[in-house]
Amino acid sequence: MKLENTKAQMRKGILEYCILTILSNKEAYPSEIIAELKSAKLIVVEGTLYPLLTRLKNAELLQYNWVESKSGPPRKYYFLTPSGVDFLKELKTTWTELSAAVKTISKTHHNE
Amino acid sequence: MNKTININLSGFVFNIEEEAYERLKQYLDNVGAQFSNAEEREEIMSDIELRIAEIFQDKIGPFKEVIIMTDIDEIIDILGHPEDYNEGDESIDETENQNQESNNYERRKRLFRDTDNAVLGGVCAGLGHYFDMDKTIIRILFVLLFVFFGSGILLYLILLFIVPEAKTTTEKIEMKGDFVNVESIKQHFEKIKQNLTNGEKQKQFRSTIKSTVDRGTAAGKNFFEIIAKIFGIGLTLGGIFLFAMTLFTLFGNNEILLPFIGEDRIPDLQTMLHIIYPGDSPSTLFFVCLLIVIFIPIITLILTGLRLLFDYRHAIKPFVIGLTTTWFIAAGILFFYSLELASDFKSNQKIIERIEDPILANDTLYVDVAHDDQFSDLIDPYNHWNSAELIKTDGQYIYMGWSELSFRTTADSGDFSVNITKHSCGASIASAIERIERINYPIQVKNGVLFIPPYMRIPAEDKIRAQYASVEIVVPENKTIIFGSNIGRIYRHAEYGPEPHGSMSPGSVWVNETGVFEKNVQ
């Protein structure tokens, strides 16, 4: 098993969760989401985000509006759909449980 | 100075250097190749183009009007290399597939018998899984093949023996597993094409190329597998065809394929072997051996085809060893018989008899061919000479409906002379001569006409040992030959007369004048 693969897989689920979290507070267009994710060091390149947004949208967790921009092309502002909100709720619970579990296990083994 | 071109990105026009354009185009092509779902790809690509347009828009200002190479490099740095795009792939399964691409090919579908859905042995249901076809269609195909000389049954039995039953869950999953099909190979080749074109020039894409090469190797492997499968289908179908044809030839009493055999000729192949091979009744064993020697290679052909088709390594081995051993034993027995047969041809003898009869002293000799009560007076020896239709057996005798009649002129005076040459082979001089003596070829004189027999008869137990009879009539000077109405039964092949010229039709008169036949029209 390659380290890179494991890392990528770990990041994947979290990435979804983070995108949904970002969008739960406000509508955002990709560049904004990217900026947040970049500052959190979750992604390095923007390319990763586009397929993810499209797939979340196709899964009907996200929806978007076209908004005109003064400086350039129109932007897609994404927001959560009701099922996206539910989905995020579920993810949040799972994440809380998981991070607690990981913490507990890491601690136990660290103390040994 | 560099050439620039105009491009339209999401409805915005940009001036871009040609070189930079090429790089951008390759980049977008490569990114596009990452997404397998066409609909998804279109949407993602338009998002990306939109983003690129946005970035370009930021760059263009009063002091910069043209997009150049370094801008593209920057774009790639911001957006990531093509393979980065799939990192956010939400489906873990898909990612696993990509990571373990090479494993995928080893984990492909295998052929098992599906006894859960079986009517008989689960062969058809298993084939249905393997080819992603409805098992009913496969069953119909088998029934159709059965109608074609029963080959469906043979194929079914072979498959029943060599294809293992899917017993464990793993085997059942493998039975229904993913099949490497032409479509997936096509996709691979498309990716290779897209990726290789940009390839080596740009080190940014080095990792892409590496994965491309990996895929290329896999695709190459697939390509050969497809070729092997095509061969497999060819061999299997060819084998089945051969099997059917041979079966048809041996047992179908077919006159086209085995002209010796037929009604009023040699009744069947077994009888034919009997009148050729030595011994009283070795023919059953011999016949079985012959069948084995003929059919095992055909079965092997079908097996090889099936093996290529289904990639079998185990299970088939003991079967093949068994077949090979059987073949060699049968071939050995045939060889033994054939040695005996060959020894029957060691000695080659002939006896010449001279006919004595008062009519030979006449000036004019009437020559005719006796009525053919075994074959037919209507046989045209020009077309049927030595043909398979001219041999038959009734179990007691063998009849051979050919004989040779020839004429020779001589400058001598005196009587006609008629010589019969009989020929046969045998294991020894004595046995050859005994066979010659048993050749029944009676020349008769009736009502002043010399009758040549149209066929010879030999006892069936003598077997066919190159027995042969020919008649030569020597015509002295100034003597005349007149042919009877049935002469054409054995002589019409000489359209041009006893000597180089002239017609030899019934009733024609030939005179030997000064050593040359001349036709005398009455």
Residue B426 lies in a domain: yes
Residues A41 and B114 sit within 8 Å (Cβ to Cβ): no
User: Which CATH number is correct for A3-111, 1.10.10.10, 3.40.50.970, 1.10.10.60, 3.20.20.70?
Assistant: 1.10.10.10
Residue B283 placed within a domain: yes
Higher pLDDT, A64 or B313: A64
How many Cα atoms occupy the beta-carbon half-sphere of B199 within 13 Å? 11
Q: Let me know if residue B259 belongs to a domain.
A: yes
Burial category of B283 from C-beta neighbours within 10 Å (exposed 0-12, middle 13-18, buried 19 and up): buried
The Cβ of residue B390 has, within 10 Å, a number of other Cβ atoms equal to 21
Greatest Cα pair distance, chain A, in angstroms, is: 59
Asked if the C-beta of A7 comes within 8 angstroms of chain B's C-beta atoms, the answer is no
Rounded Cα–Cα distance for residues B498 and B496 (Å): 7
In angstroms, the separation between the Cα of residue B78 and the nearest Cα of chain A is 5
B99, closest residue in chain A (CA to CA):
A5
**Residue where one domain finishes, among candidates B285, B311, B343:** B343
Pairwise CA distance, residues B129 & B117, whole Å: 11
Average pLDDT, chain B: 76
CB–CB of B90 and A2 under 8 A? no
pLDDT at B251 over 80: no
Distances (CA, A) of B93 to B47, B96, B99: 25, 5, 10
Within a 10 A sphere around the Cβ of B388, how many other Cβ atoms?
15
Torsion sign (Cα): B79, B82, B83, B88: positive
Q: At residue B179, does pLDDT exceed 60?
A: no
Residue B106: what pLDDT? 42
Judgement on whether residues B72 and B47 belong to the same structural domain of the protein: yes
In terms of pLDDT, which residue wins out, B360 or B496? B360
Q: How far apart are CA B306 and CA B308, in angstroms?
A: 5
Query: What's the rounded Cα separation, in Å, for the pair B170 and B137?
Result: 26
* CB within 8 Å: A48 and B85: yes
**Nearest-angstrom CA–CA distance, B110 and B179:** 9
The more confident residue out of B346 and B310 is B346
Evaluate if residue B252 carries a pLDDT over 70.
no
Looking at the structure, do residues B383 and B443 belong to the same domain, yes or no?
yes
Distance from C-alpha of B335 to C-alpha of B338, rounded to nearest angstrom: 5
Contact, B391 vs B266, CB < 8 A? yes
Residues B424 and B465 sit within 8 Å (Cβ to Cβ): yes
Which is more confidently placed, B277 or B438?
B438
Q: Are B437 and B349 in contact (CB under 8 A)?
A: no
pLDDT of residue B440: 92
Q: Say which of B12, B86, B88 has its CB closest to residue A73.
A: B12
Other Cβ atoms less than 10 A from the Cβ of B65: the count is 11
The domain locations on chain A are 3-111
Same domain, B437 and B456: yes
What is the structure's pLDDT at B500?
39
The count of CB pairs under 8 A between chains A and B is 96
Angstrom distance (rounded) from CA A9 to CA B211: 19
Cβ separation B54–A53 shorter than 8 A: no
B167-172 average pLDDT score:
68
Q: Which of B460, B462, B508 is nearest to B482 (CA)?
A: B508
Give the per-residue pLDDT at B422: 93
Residues B137 and B157 in one domain: yes
**What pLDDT score was predicted for residue B197?**
57
User: Above 60 in pLDDT, residue B495?
Assistant: no
Residues A12, B43: C-beta atoms closer than 8 Å: no
Closest-approach residue (CA) in chain A for B56: A72
Q: Is 50 exceeded by the pLDDT of residue B100?
A: no
The Cα B365–Cα B473 span in angstroms is 10
B74-83, B209-218, B388-397: lowest mean pLDDT where?
B209-218
CB of A71 within 8 Å of a chain B CB? The answer is yes
Q: Is the pLDDT of residue B37 over 60?
A: yes
* B6-26 per-position pLDDT tens digit: 888 888 888 898 888 988 988
Judge whether B197 lies within some domain.
no
Percent of chain B past pLDDT 90, that is, above it, reads 9
- B204 vs B129, higher pLDDT: B129
pLDDT at B280: 64
3-state secondary structure B402-424: CCEEEEEECCCCCCCEEEEEEEE
- Residue pointed to by tokens 């196709």: A58
Q: What is the pLDDT of residue B433?
A: 93
Q: Which of B461, B454, B419, B420 is nearest to B438 (CA)?
A: B461
Q: Looking at the structure, do residues B138 and B172 belong to the same domain, yes or no?
A: yes
* Angle made by CA atoms B168, B299, B227, in degrees to the nearest 5: 70
With beta carbons less than 8 A apart as the criterion, state whether A48 and B82 touch: no
| Predicted local distance difference test score (pLDDT) of residue B377 | 78
User: In terms of pTM, does the model score above 0.90?
Assistant: no
Domain assignment present for residue B500? The answer is yes
Q: If pLDDT is split at 50, 70 and 90, which confidence band does B101 have? A: very low
Asked, for residue B220, whether it belongs to a domain, the answer is no
What confidence tier does B418 reach under pLDDT thresholds 50, 70, 90?
very high
Contact A47 B80 (CB under 8 A): yes
Same domain, B377 and B248: no
Region of poorest pLDDT, from B174-183, B266-275, B278-287: B174-183
Better-scored residue on pLDDT, B107 or B230: B230
Cβ-Cβ contacts under 8 Å, B84 against chain A: 44-45, 47-48
Same domain, B504 and B415: yes
Contact between B392 and B264 under an 8 Å Cβ cutoff? The reply is: yes
Q: How confident is the model at residue B373 (pLDDT cuts 50, 70, 90)?
A: confident
Interchain contact A55–B (C-beta under 8 A) = yes
When pLDDT is averaged across residues B497-510 and rounded to a whole number, the result is 54
pLDDT digits (tens, 9 = 90+) for A28-41: 888 888 888 888 87
- Note whether B380 and B250 are same-domain residues: no
- For residue B44, the one-letter residue type is I
Same domain, B368 and B471: yes
- Pick A50's closest partner by Cβ from B47, B54, B90: B47
Domains held by chain B: number: 4
B129-164 residue pLDDT tens: 888 778 788 888 877 776 666 667 777 877 877 787
Instruction: State whether residue B496 is helix, strand or coil.
Output: coil
- Of B70-74, B145-149, B351-355, the poorest mean pLDDT is in B145-149
What helix, strand, coil percent values describe chain A, rounded to 5? 70, 10, 20
Q: What's the pLDDT score for residue A71?
A: 72
* The two structure tokens encoding residue A41: 């060091």
Q: Give pLDDT, residue B33.
A: 82
Are residue B28 and residue B110 in the same domain, yes or no?
no
Alpha-carbon dihedral angle through residues B225, B227, B231, B232, given to the nearest 10 degrees: 20
Are the CB atoms for B127 and B138 separated by under 8 Å? yes
The arithmetic mean of pLDDT across residues A70-79, rounded, is 83
Give phi and psi for A3, each to the nearest 5.
-60, -40
Is B48 a residue whose pLDDT tops 50?
Answer: yes
Q: Please report the DSSP string for B439-474 in residue order.
A: -B---EEETTEEEEPSSEEEEGGG--S--EEEEEEE
Residue B256's pLDDT band (cuts 50, 70, 90) = low
Which band of pLDDT confidence, cut at 50, 70 and 90, is reported for residue B457? very high
Mean pLDDT of B303-307: 80
Helix (H) or strand (E) holding B154: helix B151-162
Which residues of chain B have a Cβ shorter than 8 Å from any chain A Cβ? 10-12, 31, 34-35, 40, 43-44, 47-48, 50-51, 53-54, 57-58, 77-82, 84-92, 95, 99
Q: Is the dihedral of CA B206, B212, B218, B223 positive or negative?
A: negative
Lowest mean pLDDT among B332-346, B443-457, B503-517: B503-517
- Per-residue confidence band for B253, with pLDDT thresholds at 50, 70 and 90: low
DSSP string for B373-391: SSS-TT--HHHHTT-GGGE
Query: Side by side, which strands form the sheet with B391-393?
Result: B391-393, B397-400, B456-459
ipTM over 0.90: no
Contacts of B10 in chain A (CB under 8 A): 73
User: Which 8-state DSSP code applies to residue A70?
Assistant: S
Kindly determine whether residue A54 and residue B50, on different chains, have CB atoms separated by under 8 Å. no
Q: What are residue B6's DSSP bridge partners? A: B15
The residue range of the domain holding B365 is: 347-519
For A17, the closest chain B residue by CA position comes to B90
Half-sphere exposure of B417 (CA within 13 A, CB side): 13
pLDDT of res. B432 = 92
Mean pLDDT over B340-357 rounds to 89
Cβ–Cβ below 8 Å for A51 and B88 = yes
Q: How confident is the model at residue B419 (pLDDT cuts 50, 70, 90)?
A: very high
Cα-Cα end-to-end distance for chain B: 111
Kindly tell me if the per-residue pLDDT of B96 is higher than 50. no
B261 lies in the same domain as B326: yes
Contact B287, B270 (CB under 8 A): yes
What is the three-class DSSP state of B506? coil
Please determine, for residue B92, whether its predicted confidence score (pLDDT) is greater than 50.
Answer: no
Reduce the DSSP state of residue A13 to 3 states and report it: helix
Domain co-membership, B65 together with B140:
no
CB contacts, 8 Å: B43 with chain A: 54
Is the pLDDT assigned to residue B210 strictly greater than 60? Answer: no
Whether residue A73 is predicted with pLDDT greater than 70 in this model: the reply is yes
Asked if B401 contacts B390 with a C-beta cutoff of 8 angstroms, the reply is yes
Chain B residues closer than 8 Å to A53 by CB? 47
Whole-number pLDDT of residue B459 = 92
pLDDT at B194 over 80: no
- The answer on pLDDT for B316 being more than 70 is no
- Which of B58, B85, B88 is opposite residue A12, by nearest beta carbon? B88
Residue among A5, A12, A43 minimizing CB distance to B90: A12
Contact B377, B383 (CB under 8 A): no
